[in-house]
Amino acid sequence: MAKSKNTIESRIDYSILLPVLILLLVGLVSIFIATNFDYPKNLVQVMSQQVLWIFLGSVLAFVVMLFNTEFLWKITPWLYIFGLGLMVLPLVFYSPALVASTGAKNWVSIGSVTLFQPSEFMKISYILFLSRIGVWAKQGKEVTDLKDDWLLLFQYVAVTLPVLGLLVLQGDMGTALVFLAILAGIIVVSGISWRIILPVVLAFAAGLALFVMVFITDWGKEALLKMGVQTYQINRISAWLDPFTYADGIAFQQTQGMISIGTGGIYGKGFNHLDLNVPVRESDMIFTVIAEDFGLVGGGLVLLTYLFLIYRMLRVTFRSNNRFYTFISTGFIMMIVFHIFENIGAAVGILPLTGIPLPFISQGGSSLISNLIGVGLVLSMAYQTNLNEENKILLAMSRRMRTSGTSQVKPISKSNSKKNKPSKSVTMATQELGKAKDKVDKATEKMRQTISQNTPSIHQGKRRKGSKRKPTRKH
């Protein structure tokens, strides 16, 4: 990247944009193939909508990229409250037909028109709010102890419970798992002691194992139903544990997806060649389209593209010295990783179906726009980092210019004033040097203000004067 050019284009991390663009193109091709096979009459409408969502998401990503830390910090609490308000809407405005087919009230519908899925946008607000809490909790503290860690964990849980409560009311447990994955990533990067994290992880694993053991018995299923677990959720887990036993019923989607992937072989059947009927393959099961048409090679290239994107986002995260952005990037990376793992895992049969879309590829506006906004946040971190580095370089250059300019001006002695009298050209050069120094001083002051705005002290954490110690833990 050419850092000498003081332009917006020179500060954009194209190594993040490139894999995103590739995945968007793969998504358009896959949606075209799936829709052309299943709903050929709706092909133009579906493709037009997807292109429109890509355009809207790209515009929002560009706008978000230009946000500075101060602005994000201020609007984060309001975004969280607004997101909670949106998540209430599906409980009131929903489609009975859609609820009957999916078992969840997670889409806002008015009449026969399905508008959007609020939980997708809530993911971004949730990441921002957790990040703000994580930075604020560590602000100005040289020493942290278990009490501080427990307090921080309590705040995280307090923010998470309203979201999970609304998701339970909506019946969308798959999305609830995404929020838990985000929470796990934020907790790790927060520096909370493993004395707290390890028991929580072990308790969660034990609870999950107990759930599976209870689930495989008939009396256990009845108990789960009495506890409020929905029938369709139990059916999904049953289909996952023994798919081919229920291949003609509740496991039809999963078994068809597995067969579709298997028939693709190494190189696939070729563009626009589908033979099997896989329900909802344009969104939840989109990976089956890629694997059937382009085989193991095509699916592997998609996975490599995801890995490269995650690697580049991690690189940007490690480069940044802004803790607020570090938290944000970590949360978004965890969200993307869980989506990829769950969606492809369900398609190949190693995980139960949850209805989670494949990032940047699956059909749908809410998920796509939310993901592109997340990319905009990561690009904003890279943008601000590059901007600060440019300003620091220019500041150092201006200091060197001022130093070299003053050191070359020698005083003129009174005794040899006539002999050492400067020529007219020297006088003009001195005047030009003075004007240049004035311009440099003004530019330097402007750069100092820019740097202070983009790396505010409230997000770096306060440190005692003269102390270079990193925060330590008191046991």
447 assigned to some structural domain = no
pLDDT of residue 18: 95
Q: Where in the sequence is the domain holding 249, given as residue range(s)?
A: 9-389
- Positive or negative, the CA dihedral 284, 286, 289, 290 is negative
* Cβ(326)–Cβ(189) below 8 Å: yes
Mean pLDDT lowest for which of 119-123, 144-148, 313-317? 144-148
Average pLDDT, the chain: 81
Q: What is the band of 466 on the pLDDT scale with cuts at 50, 70, 90? A: very low
Strand partners, 97: none
pLDDT of residue 3: 43
394 assigned to some structural domain = no
414 assigned to some structural domain = no
Around Cβ 186, how many Cβ atoms within 10 Å?
Answer: 24
Strands 472-473 and 113-116 come out as unpaired
* Cβ(322)–Cβ(451) below 8 Å: no
Burial class (CB in 10 A: 0-12, 13-18, 19+), 83: buried
3-state SS class at 472: strand
Burial class (CB in 10 A: 0-12, 13-18, 19+), 357: buried
**449 or 40, greater pLDDT:** 40
Domain count within the chain? 1
Residues shown for the chain: 475
468 assigned to some structural domain = no
**pLDDT (average), residues 313-336:** 90
Greatest CA separation for the chain: 111
DSSP string, 97-143: HHHHHHS---SEEETTEEEE-HHHHHHHHHHHHHHHHHHHHHTT-SE
Q: What is the band of 245 on the pLDDT scale with cuts at 50, 70, 90? A: confident
* Cβ(370)–Cβ(120) below 8 Å: yes
Residue type, 158: A
463 assigned to some structural domain = no
How many angstroms separate the CA atoms of 233 and 393, rounded?
Answer: 57
* Cβ(119)–Cβ(172) below 8 Å: yes
- For residue 182, how many C-alpha atoms fall within 13 Å in the half-sphere facing its CB? 31
pLDDT of residue 446: 63
* Cβ(363)–Cβ(42) below 8 Å: no
Query: What tokens were used for 395?
Result: 């500041």
**pLDDT (average), residues 388-417:** 58
- pLDDT tens readout for residues 373-385: 999 999 988 777 6
Whole-Å CA distances, 151 to 52, 145, 158, 178, 185: 44, 10, 10, 23, 17
Query: What tokens were used for 174?
Result: 């798959």
| Residue the block writes with tokens 């050019």 | 5
314 assigned to some structural domain = yes
- pLDDT tens readout for residues 344-355: 999 998 888 888
How many angstroms separate the CA atoms of 255 and 306, rounded?
Answer: 25
Nearest alpha-carbon partner for 172 in 81, 113, 107 = 107
380 assigned to some structural domain = yes
Percent of the chain with pLDDT over 70: 77
455 assigned to some structural domain = no
Residue 460 has pLDDT above 50, yes or no: no
CB under 8 Å to 445, separation ≥6 — which residues?
none
Nearest alpha-carbon partner for 10 in 18, 22, 2 = 2
- pLDDT tens readout for residues 205-229: 888 888 777 777 777 777 777 777 7
